[in-house]
Structure 1
């Protein structure tokens, strides 16, 4: 083609077909003019990614293994693979949930970038710091052991020939201890160095995947960040001391002094918090008089729980199978019915803005993503009850056994069980048995797990390892008043807030279980609780079916 003719070709907007294009939506793979960008972005059901046209990325679609002439521009959620248009219409994928590959790529790319950022800025530097600490300790070890040898020599000169044999023996003991310490530290160094090499390789692979923009590589990537958040054991060595005494020829061996026992203290590696959990929030004092700032009429007969999507949008569920997303003006933004038609026991919003709900009748935990419901966990022998999402993205679920004689809390990563919390150090149950939906759960900012156990008339708090920290059974001065906690939540200050529906108030505790204050605000039978990103409290009133927004910090 003549280069002068080619220079005269005008690239037009894919929507209006008349104006010059200036931008490109990588999510929808279309070109846009300045006027049409606003119209395109008005569709809030899709997470658009609009960039200047010259900075657009070209997508490398994989070829379909079954249909060589077609590209895989769709994604089968059930089979978890990219598929082409012919595959979609075939019987092989009949009834399967099919999504757009661009949407899947966008989510995966975002996840990959988060992993890379965490590895580069947080995890790998911690390993470097640990490696440096070991080298410093080795240097200090040389100095300290040198001082021990000098002391032994000085004491030997005083005792002369009578204690020559003892001097040599002590120096031999010192050298043996030193060698064991050095051997232990060298082993620790090798372990850390090996992990650092693995991390470098993972980061290199991630950069290659991100740079290639290859759909196949991106979709098959499996994150290993959680594996490396648990740091290797850290070796702490304690240099022995040498006690010296005045010379007594009859007790030369005893008087020369003895070395303290060899001490190597291995501290198990800390599990680093995810990037979202490490920032220190600003201090926010409690208000003397909490203020009611909004009231949402949910339209239910009875309101069970509320979960914040944002500071002005909340998910709710009541006495039927429909879950509603409402704004502060009580406007219904969307509603979704449970997959089974059963009433959900509880709902929670994930870090990604999706909704999870429990269905005790079906023994399932379900995820709502892009208005599609996926069952992620099905239990055997247990009923799932309440649920909360943790800072790391895990799910904490309270559950009760089929015969209602046992209760426990289980942590899930995806559909994999990671932790079960049921008994204290003496083997006694942490939570009450019996009842149905009488336990409510939340994770505190210090990673404590807080359960409002209504049947036990207590808030039970364990640390992230499942060890009991304390039980709160109501204000110490109110020994004659019953305490029946319902909903529970926590805020950025690590306060624990629990609903006391018998006396129409909220208890505010510090992270160690000390009572701080009540919130009243004319509440009527407060039940479910949640706190938004700005520490506004939302209270679900059971009888009035209203959700109230309260400022208390």
Structure 2
């Protein structure tokens, strides 16, 4: 039986055709047109059909037709068979003698049950489902957050352990390179001496040949041969090859040793998941040891750049010379920066050559000094002066450049750090992601050092803080000196990083050194060992600190010791 249809203008159509309805069968609850009334009566002629005007229609229960007896409506409900039945059904098998009830009663009872169930679903089940859905979403959010945190922790641990392993082998590489440079320098020096002897001998032989070819008695009589001085050749240098050992213990521990440096990589397994636990065999000393005090000719030692384990380039206040000294203070070499302008800062390249910055009138430059003279590497842009500098492991140069403007006097405007790769600018570090200056404006310099993990550690003397940025220039943390609990405000100057990623910075006003770990946690203060107004700072190949002081001296300090 088709349902009545409504047109776009809400006209009710006949359920048998598309004509508009004018009548309504209350018995069947269907709309009928004038033509289809007879069809409807003929279709259900054995049933009562209450046909009325459409406007007089009534909403009432529609009794279903009996499937067993044509023309009969089911007005009762067989309780035994749970099925609607007509009068004829009740008088014949299989419903004869079965218990029945009015179908309207069944309808009303089922209707009330449905109303009750609907109310229960709306009031209890749907809120329960919604709550369960919310709980699931929260659980999913917590799970996602948990696994995100787990991933971050894993990545952090991965990075941390990789860094620890890198620290160990970076140290091995550094020690190996240091020994290599020392030995090659000694051998090259000895080779130069031998070549000079060969040259002198050849000159002597040429002189002897000329004398022997002469017919003059005076030439022979007056000639004094100097061959005797070549009887003893220069002594061979004492070449010390470093001892390197790497042993596996039951395939669980890797013991690494080079001279006085020792480290152990331990592999432990838990649930068949291996992990490496590097342990270096040194710790910070409770009481540091002053190994040596080197006298200098400078009123205040400003810059130190160690070369190997026993020598360093230094410069000081009111002097235009950069001197190379040994541990006894003996001057081995001197580089003059000219009659008018002294050096701003010094460093040593990976090849062991001296690097220094200087401002000559309006021209600021970085120069390289080596055997045979100096070479200009970098020219600072106009109005920018080169200040502090350092050489990175990759051979790049990090240079602090300061911008000055002239308003009756020089006023410092901006401070920045520039990375030069192959003597060309490759990176500027001056502003954070929001365009805010990372470093404070002022007359003070930015002292810097590259850590083994690639961080650039900066001592900002204007802001009285240490700023550490990653390789991209993003700020990782700042240190203000407060944890050290010193009497005077933090006054940082020179800064270095050691083989263990520790950050060491001088505190000029408090006569001490601050030592931090690679994440900025304060570890220790080094004081009470005669470091008055420390400024210059460097590390030698043995991991000892060379500290320049105001008392015309350099303190060599041992601050790490075996566990």
Based on CA coordinates, which of the two structures has the bigger radius of gyration? 2
More strand by share: 2
